């Protein structure tokens, strides 16, 4: 049985196009792997707090020197990281808002980037500490951005996940979803075919 961590960030919840792409991916993974166990992290319904000086300070404080509130911050971050460590596969739904990733996803990333836990610095640069595993990134966009300078999501996600050790990345795009019904349906159909191919 495969353990799958599902991360969604659509402000429209399960009705969001990126969330629907996530569901399509899970159905295909079931066909490929049989029984699966999913852990859901809905960042819109249960937002991760945005990083501030207090929370960042908790990460930097030595374990023996932390007060109770600092330990709670670290425990919360540890739990998010543990979800990834327990997963055989990560499925990430990413809508595009104003040319970037949702702020809730950025907050999540800020809580799983921990020096000495998910990455470390060496004389040759940073090294990711998470064991690599497949990550499926389902990107839903109102316009068409992939392969253009306006696609800030793809390089950022690739850089960030690689920074913590996750490099087996599979991007699926559904673009032009606000450019008419025909374009929307064609984009979703193509995304479905790509999901089927990537998860086979």
Residues annotated in a binding site for FMN: 10, 96-99
Helix (H) / strand (E) element for 19: namely helix 17-33
Q: What is the spatial distance between Cα 172 and Cα 197, in angstroms, rounded to a whole number? A: 10
In order of 51, 114, 155, the CA distances from 22 in angstroms are 27, 27, 20
192: tokens are 């479905």
Q: What is the spatial distance between Cα 59 and Cα 80, in angstroms, rounded to a whole number? A: 14
Question: Which residue ranges make up the annotated binding site?
Answer: 10, 96-99
In order of 63, 139, 141, 155, 183, the CA distances from 177 in angstroms are 48, 11, 6, 21, 7
Phi-psi region of 138 (alpha: psi -120 to 50; beta: other; left: phi over 0): beta
In order of 2, 56, 121, 197, the CA distances from 24 in angstroms are 16, 36, 38, 12
Q: Which of 73, 78, 11, 14 is nearest to 40 (CA)?
A: 14
């Amino acid at each position: 049985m495969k353990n799958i961590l599902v991360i969604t960030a659509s402000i429209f919840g399960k009705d969001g196009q990126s969330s629907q792409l996530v569901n399509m991916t899970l159905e295909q993974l079931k066909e490929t792997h049989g029984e699966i166990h999913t852990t859901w992290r809905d960042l819109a319904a249960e937002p991760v707090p945005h990083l501030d000086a207090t929370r960042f300070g908790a990460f930097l404080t030595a374990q023996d020197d932390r007060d109770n509130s600092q330990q709670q911050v670290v425990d919360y971050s540890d739990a998010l990281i543990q979800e990834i460590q327990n997963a055989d596969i990560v499925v990430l739904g990413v809508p595009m808002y104003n040319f970037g990733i949702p702020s809730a996803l950025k907050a999540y990333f800020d809580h799983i980037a921990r020096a000495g836990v998910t990455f470390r610095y060496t004389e040759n640069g940073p090294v990711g500490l998470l064991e690599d595993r497949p990550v499926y990134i389902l990107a839903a966009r109102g316009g068409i951005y992939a392969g253009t300078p306006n696609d800030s999501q793809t390089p950022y996600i690739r850089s960030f996940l690689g920074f913590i050790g996750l490099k087996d990345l599979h991007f699926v795009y559904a673009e032009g979803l606000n450019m008419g019904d025909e374009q929307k349906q064609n984009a979703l159909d193509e995304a479905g075919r790509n999901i089927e191919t990537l998860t086979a």
